[in-house]
Amino acid sequence: MPASRPQPRPGVLDIEAYVPGKSKAPGVAKIYKLSSNETPLGPSPKAIAAYRQVAEHLEDYPDGAASDLREAIGRAFGLDPDRIVCGAGSDDLLNLLARAYLADGDEAIYTTHGFLVYPIATLGAGAKPVVAPEKNFTADVDAILAALTPKTKLVFLANPNNPTGTYLPFDEVQRLRRALPENVLLVLDAAYAEYVRRNDYESGLELVATSDNTVMCRTFSKIYGLAALRLGWLYGPAHVVDALNRIRGPFNINQPAIAAGVAAIEDTAHVQASAAHNARWLPWLTEEIRKLGLEVTPSAANFVLIHFPKDKGRTAKEADVFLTARGLILRRLEPYRLPGALRLTVGSEEANRLVVDALAQFMGAAA
Ligand SMILES: Cc1ncc(COP(=O)(O)O)c(C=O)c1O
């Protein structure tokens, strides 16, 4: 590359750009997009109405402090709104954290099959992503601790994790926090927290409230069904909130998103209906797919990780081609170091039944 032209900072060209889930199947009339962990129930009708109302006033800047939204989140979760930062999706917040807390040469730890935005945000900040091995597709606290060096500044932990669906019980998260040095910021990414039905799980609100070095990110993209609007929030210690507010875009979230977010979080019946739908279909999909002889990693979220055999005719890649031809779009996972698996989002009843039927045909046809 000629030195005479502008050069991105070191690390930027090492980034493998994020590839979102496919949404097209050429030549197929009806598509079931099960590749991005979106909710099959869509957003609350009240959120759609609130969004439409703002369409009458697109000439006005949004409220840069997102006060109404932070207050609505505060009411819903019993939190101080001053300790909340909103972002254009939790992606925005993860990138802000990396920019605020990582300098050139610093290190950020994430786990083998952790969410891909973590290494992207780390490299983009000029720092080094360090991979901590997982056990049974699950984050391993001891491995994270073994990866620490004096240069570690951040630890990213998705709980539950995408794309594996596995989670760490809260006592393990607490053990991790206790063992991390005080200057290391622990980022708990609880994008799927609303789906989890496990007695030993907590998203980390209490831990954030009582420590000076832990933050939690949440999103409106999953159970609230507002992925298109790009909306997420973070709860953190006051000094972290202060740092992020200094570097975030002054209008980083837009007014239609603020209005829809407030209505979405207040429509608790809709959130409960989405959680109940998931609680019914997640175990059903897990069991039905296992009955076909495929291994499914136990998931606490709104998707399952399906492992395919290596035999010709039965691989994940061939299953993806087979399903896509039938309009069923799942997520390929090569970038997540899982080339032998596909990730399936819990869909509508119709989509779930179609996937199981198609997988039965695929496994039968290959026999
Ligand atoms: C673990 C995890 N964190 C964060 C996100 C990003 O969500 P958002 O749409 O809020 O940027 C996702 C989305 O797939 C995710 O799986």
Residue 37: CB within 6 Å of ligand 1?
A: yes
Residue 89: CB within 6 Å of ligand 1?
A: yes
Residue 162: CB within 6 Å of ligand 1?
A: yes
Termini Cα distance of the chain: 51
Q: How far is the centre of ligand 1, averaged over its atoms, from the C-alpha of 270 (Å)?
A: 20
Q: Please report the pLDDT score of residue 1 as a whole number.
A: 61
pTM over 0.85: yes
120: enclosing H helix or E strand: helix 117-124
Q: How far is the centre of ligand 1, averaged over its atoms, from the C-alpha of 46 (Å)?
A: 23
Please count the CA atoms within 13 angstroms of the CA of 250 that sit on its side-chain side.
Answer: 1
Instruction: Please check the confidence at residue 366 and state whether its pLDDT lies above 90.
Output: no
Mean pLDDT of the region 114-126: 96
Q: Please report the pLDDT score of residue 86 as a whole number.
A: 98
- Those residues with Cβ within 8 angstroms of residue 227's Cβ, 6 or more apart along the chain or in another chain: 36, 38, 89, 220, 221
Q: Which one of 162, 168, 231 would you pick to mutate in the ligand 1 pocket, going by the greatest count of ligand atoms within 8 A of its CB? A: 162
Which of 118, 109, 94 lies closest to 140, judged by CA?
109
Q: Cα–Cα distance between 41 and 57 in angstroms, integer?
A: 28
Backbone phi, psi, residue 283, to 5°:
-65, -35
Which of 191, 230, 186 lies closest to 210, judged by CA?
186
Q: How far is the centre of ligand 1, averaged over its atoms, from the C-alpha of 90 (Å)?
A: 6
Instruction: Point out the least confidently predicted range of 13-27, 152-166, 250-264, 304-318.
Output: 13-27
- Show the CA angle centred on residue 174, arms to residues 172 and 175, nearest 5°: 60
Q: Please report the pLDDT score of residue 18 as a whole number.
A: 86
Query: What does the pLDDT look like over 6-22, one tens digit per residue?
Result: 999 888 999 988 888 77
Give the amino acid at 334.
Answer: E
Q: Which one of 120, 221, 253, 336 would you pick to mutate in the ligand 1 pocket, going by the greatest count of ligand atoms within 8 A of its CB? A: 221
Whether 306 and 296 have beta carbons less than 8 Å apart is answered as yes
Q: Cα–Cα distance between 85 and 135 in angstroms, integer?
A: 33
What average pLDDT does the structure give for the chain? 96
Residue 166: CB within 6 Å of ligand 1?
A: no
Ligand 1 atom, smallest distance to 87 CA: 10
The string of DSSP letters for 173-191 reads HHHHHHHS-TTSEEEEE-T
Instruction: Please check the confidence at residue 322 and state whether its pLDDT lies above 80.
Output: yes
Instruction: Point out the least confidently predicted range of 260-269, 343-352, 357-366.
Output: 357-366
pLDDT band at residue 276 using 50, 70 and 90 as cut-offs:
very high
Residue 115: CB within 6 Å of ligand 1?
A: yes
Q: Please report the pLDDT score of residue 168 as a whole number.
A: 98
Residue 158: CB within 6 Å of ligand 1?
A: yes
| Dihedral angle computed from the Cα positions of residues 234, 19, 114 and 118, in that order, rounded to the nearest 10 degrees | -50
Query: What does the pLDDT look like over 163-193, one tens digit per residue?
Result: 999 999 999 999 999 999 999 999 999 999 9
pLDDT band at residue 161 using 50, 70 and 90 as cut-offs:
very high
Q: Which one of 19, 37, 166, 189 would you pick to mutate in the ligand 1 pocket, going by the greatest count of ligand atoms within 8 A of its CB? A: 189
Query: What does the pLDDT look like over 34-85, one tens digit per residue?
Result: 999 999 999 999 999 999 999 999 999 999 999 999 999 999 999 999 999 9
Q: Cα–Cα distance between 155 and 160 in angstroms, integer?
A: 15
Mean pLDDT of the region 295-310: 98
- Those residues with Cβ within 8 angstroms of residue 126's Cβ, 6 or more apart along the chain or in another chain: 9, 10, 11, 102, 103, 104, 105
Q: Please report the pLDDT score of residue 27 as a whole number.
A: 85
